[in-house]
Amino acid sequence: MRTLRLLTTGALALVLALTACSADGQEGDADPAVQTPTATPPVPDAPLTATSWTVRSVAGTTAPADREARFTLTHEGQASGTLGCNRFSAPVTVDGTTVAFGPVTSTRMACEGAAGEVERALTTLFGAGPLTWKVQGGTLTLTAPDGSTATAEAASAAE
C-alpha cells in the first residue's frame, strides 16, 4: 500500500511539474528570446532549373491570367514552355547569376492583345543577351542589360 501511495504521489508531482513547464504564453511567463512562429512560413527559394515558372510581368506589361506564359529550364540546357500564345523551345546556358537564351523556336499562331504584348516582350527579353537572374522566395526576376525585367512565380507543388 505504501508503494502505491509513493507511486501516486510521484506521478502527481511529475504531472504538476510538466504542467508548470508547459505554461508557455502565460502573462509574465513568456521568454522574450523565444519567437512565436508566424502563421505563414517564408517561401523557400525555388531552384532556377527544374521549376515551372509562370510569367507575371515583362517589360512593364502585366501578363493576363487567361493566357499564361510559362517556361521551364532544364539541367541539360534547354528552355521550353509557352510565351502566352505560342509554344517555344530554346537552348539555354546558366553561368553563375546569368542565364543566356539561344535562338527561340516557336509555333506561329497570331496573338493579339495583352497576351501578344507579353509574348513579344518576353521573346525580346530572351534574345537580349545574358540576363541576370535572382530567385527570392517563389519569385524569379530576369534583368536584361538594358534594365528591362520579367518576373515569374514558381508553380506550387500541386501544379
pLDDT digits (tens, 9 = 90+) for 116-142: 999 999 999 999 999 999 999 899 999
CA distance 78 to 72: 8
DSSP alpha helix (H) spans, the chain: 2-21, 113-126
Q: Are 140 and 43 in contact (CB under 8 A)?
A: no
In the predicted structure, residue 28 carries a pLDDT above the cut 80: no
Q: Are 127 and 92 in contact (CB under 8 A)?
A: no
pLDDT, residue 155, reads: 87
pLDDT, residue 143, reads: 98
Letter string b/e over residues 23-38, b meaning 16 or more CB atoms within 10 A of that residue's CB: eeeeeeeeeeeeeeee
pLDDT, residue 50, reads: 93
